[in-house]
Amino acid sequence: MGVQAIDVDASIKGKGVEVSKLDDANLREKVGQIYENDHPLWGPLCLILNASGLGFFDRYLSKKAMDFELRQIHLLISELQKFSLNTMPSDSPDLIPALRISLNAIHESLSEEKVRVFASILANLWNQKTSNWDATSQTLRLVRDLEDVHFLVLSEANKLHNAKTGKGMFSVGRKPSLATSAIEDLLPSNLDPMLIDSCVSDLIAKGLINDSFISNNSLETDIEFSPTKAPVTYSISDLGIWLIKQIPPAPSATAS
């Protein structure tokens, strides 16, 4: 029986049973397991660097990468702690795939807002007992490609929609428009106008923002119509409103 127990243990290790699948694994253990297994190219790269006499470079890069990724993981855990989480995660099968996607995404970005958004999604899955992977996957896919300015524009567009200010419409780039609100006036003043324009274009491409040309019957007068000067209004789309609802802020952030 002793030999059999050793064989069983060895076979388990050989199959690479993930800590994330063990019932008694906590969040830190799951994150650590995913972090260690998701970098298959680090080994060969380190061998090549060492063989080339660049071991110091290998150690420098490894430390910088480790410091950054640990910082992102700690930030994610810190954001998760702001939510009312059950002592143990739920049995939802969506949690671990979503955690993997979230970790990969935050390791490719400096955006702290993105970390907060992923924490919101994971907190919901932590307490969720059922599976709704299609909605979860779509939310993760949309969030993964967004950065801080995208979230700022989307948030301000949603505020205009909720307040029904100018029917939720806004202008971009100071172009002629029926919209009473310019998005530049609602964002930090140090943002590059072209960066804002680019981010709005990204959001339109993802279907999160609507853009509409004003017809020649508009109430405005003396407007020059051309491919570059045609008046345009923007507003958050139904998909953008749906996405905002999927990523509510932590209760503590709302209270503050």
CATH code for the domain of 231: 1.10.10
Based on the fold, state whether residues 102 and 163 are members of the same structural domain.
no
Based on the fold, state whether residues 233 and 176 are members of the same structural domain.
yes
At residue 102, what is the residue type?
Answer: S
Pair 76, 115: CB distance under 8 Å:
yes
Cα diameter, the chain: 92
Based on the fold, state whether residues 213 and 121 are members of the same structural domain.
no
Distances (CA, A) of 83 to 87, 96, 123, 133, 253: 12, 18, 7, 21, 9
Confidence (pTM): 0.66
Based on the fold, state whether residues 35 and 141 are members of the same structural domain.
yes
Residue 225 located in a structural domain: yes
Based on the fold, state whether residues 153 and 201 are members of the same structural domain.
yes
Q: Give the chain's length.
A: 256
Helix or strand or coil: residue 156?
Answer: helix
Based on the fold, state whether residues 41 and 114 are members of the same structural domain.
yes
Q: Domain residues for 227?
A: 148-245
Based on the fold, state whether residues 120 and 31 are members of the same structural domain.
yes
Question: In the chain, which residue ranges form alpha helices assigned H by DSSP?
Answer: 2-15, 27-37, 42-51, 55-80, 95-106, 112-127, 133-144, 148-163, 183-186, 193-205, 238-246, 251-255
Ordered per-residue pLDDT tens for the chain, 256 residues: 444 443 434 433 444 445 445 556 666 565 555 555 555 565 566 666 666 665 555 566 667 777 888 888 889 988 988 887 878 877 788 888 999 999 999 988 888 889 999 999 998 888 887 778 898 999 999 999 999 999 999 999 999 999 887 778 888 887 766 777 889 999 999 999 999 999 999 999 999 999 876 544 444 445 454 555 556 789 999 999 999 999 888 775 555 4
Based on the fold, state whether residues 92 and 206 are members of the same structural domain.
no
pLDDT at 191: 92
